[in-house]
């Protein structure tokens, strides 16, 4: 394994300019492939929440009333996608944090200036999330990752590998113990003979999708986001994934996957096996195979979270292995890479499509669709994004959201002197 970049800043008296964004042509293949594929997962995972006239259950946003085809789609999503997207997103976010840090260290940027840049970037990401939630999607994750980035940058970024490893293990350990305790508590409640129908109207989910008044839906979205963003960003799962990703980035695992094939292979096999096993248990509960009332679905939620962490890491490792084999990326891989390099733009574009078309305050199409049909729409949105991203890439145009974030982050580019 390659040695990580030094944690101490080199001392110099020469003036240097604050690092600029990495040119598109110089970006590593594997992280952008992963981001492009992840956007498909995100589209599918978010899609059931737009079925606003359905009756859902606490296990997921998928409707209770479903055809055989709907059940197949739900099962595939619960096994391989739901609860696996946001850990993968968090890992890629953490990997990017260290890539920015490493680039500034290589250019001998003043450490104080580096920390200010990262704080500014994560603060603006938090602002992006707030606007996204207010206008379109209360389930926004940008704010959560902005908060996580601020916390990780403050507490962990300059810590040695062993410290990051210990804290990541501690976070995962806490989640695992919590999952066992909550599952055991559910079994106690079940043994006591308590349990009933736990389904609820999707209109009660609090995301503003079922609200016909747009101003009222805005209030609902913002209130939901104010709760979700801190919980998602600062609870143990996202910080654990970010710390593990920083460790991987320090050793350039995804930039040089061909040098880490054994590690990536083990991680992919073990991580995906853990994730799919946990997902299969959740899917079985969704199909009522255990005979456990839906009011006790909460006992499966931590299991989904913990196994989702393994699956997210496993997926990234698998994509790293794929990137190691692509000496000359195919046209599809090139398009996915182009999409991944503009992931912020197309993440927001998904909401720009889904929210006004599916919500009650918009065209209300979500009232007409089922599980399988809205997944078809989600795949279609991703495919259209792929085509647009490929066109932008061919013309050398960055995504507008990335351009804006970079402008806001780097707008104070100036000369700094090391102390």
pLDDT digits (tens, 9 = 90+) for 33-92: 999 999 999 999 999 999 998 888 877 889 998 999 999 999 999 999 998 888 898 999
For 336-368, give the DSSP string. HHHHHTTHHHHHHHHHHHHHHHHSTTTT-GGGT
What does each C-alpha distance from 29 to 45, 89, 238, 256, 347 come to in angstroms? 25, 16, 23, 9, 19
Please give the Cα distance from 44 to 60 (Å, whole number). Answer: 12
Distance (Å, rounded) from C-alpha 46 to C-alpha 227?
18
Q: What is the pLDDT at residue 312?
A: 93
Which whole number is the average pLDDT over 384-412? Answer: 92
User: Could you give the C-alpha distances from 3 to 7, 240, 248, 321, in angstroms and in order?
Assistant: 11, 22, 11, 20
Mean pLDDT across the chain, nearest whole number? Answer: 88
Check residue 224 and give its pLDDT. Answer: 93
- The model's pLDDT over 137-187, given as tens digits with 9 standing for 90+, comes to 999 999 999 999 999 999 998 899 999 999 999 999 999 999 999 999 999
Q: What is the pLDDT of residues 90-146, one digit of tens each?
A: 999 999 999 888 888 888 888 788 888 999 999 999 999 999 999 999 999 999 999
| Complete DSSP assignment for 10-79 | PP--SEEEPPPPPPGGGS-HHHHHHHHHHHHHHHHHHGGGG-TTSEEBTTBSS-SS--HHHHHHHHHHHH
CA–CA gap between residue 98 and residue 165 (Å, rounded): 15
The DSSP string of 286-313 is HTT-S---GGGGGGGHHHHHHHHHHHHH
Burial letters for 200-212: b for 16+ Cβ neighbours within 10 Å, e otherwise? Answer: eebbebebbbbbe
CB 209 within 8 A of CB 358: yes
| Residue 394 confidence (pLDDT) above 70 | yes
Query: CA 264, CA 130: separation in Å to the nearest integer?
Result: 36
Task: Give the C-alpha separation, 364 to 372, whole Å.
Answer: 17
Q: Which two tokens stand for residue 234?
A: 């600062």
Distance CA 313, CA 307 (A): 10
In angstroms, what CA-CA distances link 176 with 172, 268, 303?
6, 20, 8
Q: Which residues contact 168 (CB under 8 A, 6 or more apart)?
A: 240, 243, 244, 247
Q: What is the pLDDT of residue 15?
A: 39
Q: Can you tell me the distance from the alpha carbon of 151 to that of 123, in angstroms, rounded to the nearest whole number? A: 11
Mean pLDDT of 266-273: 96
Q: How far apart are CA 112 and CA 118, in angstroms?
A: 10
pLDDT of residue 150: 95
DSSP secondary structure letter of residue 6: P
Q: Which residues of 270-285 are buried (b: 16+ CB within 10 A; e: fewer)?
A: ebbebbbebbebbbbb
Q: How far apart are CA 103 and CA 105, in angstroms?
A: 5
Please give the Cα distance from 120 to 153 (Å, whole number). 11
Domain locations in the chain as residue ranges: 23-409
- What are the φ and ψ backbone dihedral angles of 370, each rounded to 5 degrees? -120, -175
Q: What is the pLDDT of residue 22?
A: 58
Collapsed DSSP state (helix, strand, coil) of residue 198: coil
Return d(Cα 371, Cα 45) in angstroms, integer: 11
The secondary element (H helix, E strand) that includes residue 394 is: helix 371-394
Token pair belonging to 400: 């507008």
Residue identified by tokens 């998904």 is: 350
Radius of gyration of the chain from its Cα atoms, rounded to whole angstroms: 22
For tokens 């979500």, what's the residue?
Answer: 366
Which residues partner with 16 through β-bridges? 416
The structure tokens listed for 252 are 């350039």
Cα–Cα distance list, 341 to 3, 162, 244 (Å): 27, 31, 21
User: Is residue 20 predicted with pLDDT exceeding 70?
Assistant: no
Cα–Cα distances (Å) from 113 to 19, 52, 56, 268, 416, in that order, read 10, 47, 48, 37, 7
């Amino acid at each position: 394994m390659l040695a990580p970049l030094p944690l101490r800043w080199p001392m110099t008296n020469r003036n240097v300019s604050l690092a600029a964004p990495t040119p598109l042509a110089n970006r590593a293949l594997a992280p952008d492939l992963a981001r492009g594929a992840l956007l498909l997962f995100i589209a599918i995972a978010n899609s059931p929440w737009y079925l606003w006239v359905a009756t859902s259950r606490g296990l997921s946003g998928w409707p209770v009333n479903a055809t055989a085809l709907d059940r197949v789609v739900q099962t595939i999503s619960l096994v391989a996608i739901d609860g696996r997207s946001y850990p993968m997103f968090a890992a890629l976010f953490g990997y990017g944090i260290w890539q920015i840090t490493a680039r500034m260290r290589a250019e001998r940027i003043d450490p104080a200036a580096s920390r200010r840049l990262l704080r500014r970037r994560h603060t603006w990401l938090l602002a992006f999330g707030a606007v996204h939630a207010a206008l379109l999607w209360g389930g926004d994750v940008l704010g959560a990752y902005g908060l996580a980035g601020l916390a990780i940058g403050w507490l962990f970024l300059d810590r040695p590998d062993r410290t990051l490893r210990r804290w990541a293990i501690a976070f995962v350990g806490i989640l695992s113990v919590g999952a066992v305790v909550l599952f055991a508590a559910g079994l106690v409640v079940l043994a006591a003979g308590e349990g009933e129908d736990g389904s609820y109207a999707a209109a009660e989910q609090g995301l503003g999708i079922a609200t016909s008044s747009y101003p009222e839906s805005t209030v609902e979205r913002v209130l939901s986001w104010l709760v979700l963003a801190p919980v998602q960003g600062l609870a143990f799962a996202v910080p654990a994934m970010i710390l593990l990703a920083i460790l991987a980035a320090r050793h350039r695992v995804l930039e040089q996957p061909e040098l880490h094939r054994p590690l990536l292979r083990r991680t992919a096999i073990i991580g995906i096996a853990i994730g799919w096993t946990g997902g299969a248990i959740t899917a079985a509960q969704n199909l009522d195979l255990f005979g456990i009332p839906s009011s006790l679905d909460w006992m499966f939620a931590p299991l989904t979270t913990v196994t989702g962490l393994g699956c997210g890491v496993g997926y990234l490792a698998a994509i790293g292995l794929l990137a190691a084999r692509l000496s000359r990326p195919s046209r599809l891989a090139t398009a996915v890479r182009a999409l991944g390099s503009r992931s912020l733009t197309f993440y927001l574009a998904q909401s720009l499509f889904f929210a006004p078309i599916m919500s009650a305050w918009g065209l209300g199409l979500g009232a007409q669709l089922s599980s399988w049909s809205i997944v078809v729409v989600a795949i279609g949105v991703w495919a259209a994004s792929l085509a647009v991203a490929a066109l932008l890439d061919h013309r050398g145009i960055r995504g507008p959201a990335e351009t804006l974030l970079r402008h806001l982050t780097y707008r104070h580019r100036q000369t700094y002197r090391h102390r």
